[in-house]
Amino acid sequence: MAWFTADVTYTTDRDKLAAVRPAHRDYLRELTDQGVVVAAGPWADDLGGFVVYQVEDRAQLDKVLAGDPYTTEGVAAERAVREWKITLGSWLPES
């Protein structure tokens, strides 16, 4: 399994953000139930958000991102995705 982070900058269209947010959160809840999303939430200034994913590979992540309402509805104006190599913390499997 691979870990990825996505740092998202939202569109400046606040009405669109508000309209799409419930569907986006429902989508992330389903992914959380599947163990794909580990943590997610908006930045305190609500200009963007951050998500931690655990997936098989980048190809799976790309499919997940493509299905996100923030992608399909144009709310994610920018998204910086990086693979994350966790070395410390409670998310690591026990050895």
Q: Transcribe the chain into DSSP letters.
A: -EEEEEEEEE-S-HHHHHHHHHHHHHHHHHHHHTTSEEEEEE-TTSSEEEEEEEESSHHHHHHHHHHSHHHHTT-EEEEEEEEE---SSTTSPP-
For 43, the token pair is 């930045």
Cα 70 to Cα 3: distance, rounded to the nearest angstrom = 20
Confidence (pLDDT) at 55? 97
**Superfamily designation of domain 2-84:** Dimeric alpha+beta barrel (3.30.70.1060)
Task: Report the amino acid identity of residue 74.
Answer: G
- Which pTM was predicted? 0.92
| Average pLDDT over every residue of 65-87 | 96
Q: What is the pLDDT of residues 25-70, one digit of tens each?
A: 999 999 999 999 999 999 999 999 999 999 999 999 999 999 999 9
Question: Does the pLDDT at position 95 exceed 60?
Answer: no
